[in-house]
Amino acid sequence: MNPLEKGYKQVNGIQMYYEIYGSGKPLVLIHGGGSSILYDFKEVIARLENEFQLIGIDLQNHGRSEHRDIPETFEQDADDVAALLKALNVDKASFWGFSNGGNTVMQIGHRHPKIVEKLVVASAFYKRNGMMDGFFEMMNEATFDSMPEPFKINFLNLNPDFSKLENLFEKDSKRMQTFVDWSDEVLSSIQSPTLFISGDKDVMKPEHTIAMWRLVENSQLMILPVGHGTYMMADFDGSLNENLVNFTIKEVANFLNN
């Protein structure tokens, strides 16, 4: 599984890293908080690189991309992705965002509708009360030591600068701690067909994912019997539910192709 192309583009004042796999209709892969392209989408890329042109992007402060000293916002991430695609001469694409990446692709649908074919929004949220009870209290108490060790190892393998790892943790934590509810209009403005995915034991409540699905016309809904993201990737301990991952990715491919 080797990228056909990889490199950096100057985007809104920083160098952003990307990788391209396969050929076909473009599908942009947007990772979650604290993560990177292959950490979240390794299994997806392995299964879909013969079917789509897969464009993976490391967002600001993540993976191999450069860092900013300003607060992270989902709106900034959406604008960065749109600008990077323009630099790659990609006029229109589908987008698959996981966790915070799901929030980012919803903002892409809201802010940059002309570049969107379809959206896959996996394990995302738009209001604080949609998260599991105690989530934001836990985020307010988060320390660098509480950052999952696999995230730390993954980041330092890609970018061996400990101060940048600390910056990533600080920026990601602050974004969640200070998150302000979005208006319903952010979702109801999305014009592209959208597939919402979450687990029934996810960090957001199933009824919250259902509420988002009801706000977006031409949307579909898939709630699976697992926790956060293990329907599309390995768990933190490395275990992989192969059958469920195969099922999820096949259903996403069907959604994108029909």
Please write the tens of the pLDDT for every residue from 16-58. Answer: 999 999 999 999 999 999 999 999 999 999 999 999 999 999 9
Write out pLDDT tens, residues 81-119: 999 999 999 999 999 999 999 999 999 999 999 999 999
- Give the separation between CA 220 and CA 36, rounded to whole angstroms: 26
pLDDT, one tens digit per residue, over 201-257 is: 999 999 999 999 999 999 999 999 999 999 999 999 999 999 999 999 999 999 999
pLDDT for position 1 = 84
pTM above 0.75, yes or no: yes
Give the integer Cα–Cα distance in Å for 92 and 211: 27
Q: Which residues contact 115 (CB under 8 A, 6 or more apart)?
A: 82, 85, 90, 91, 92, 93, 108
At a CB cut-off of 8 Å and minimum separation 6, what does 220 contact? 193, 194, 195, 196, 213, 255
pLDDT, mean over the chain: 97
How far, in Å, CA of 32 to CA of 99, rounded? 5
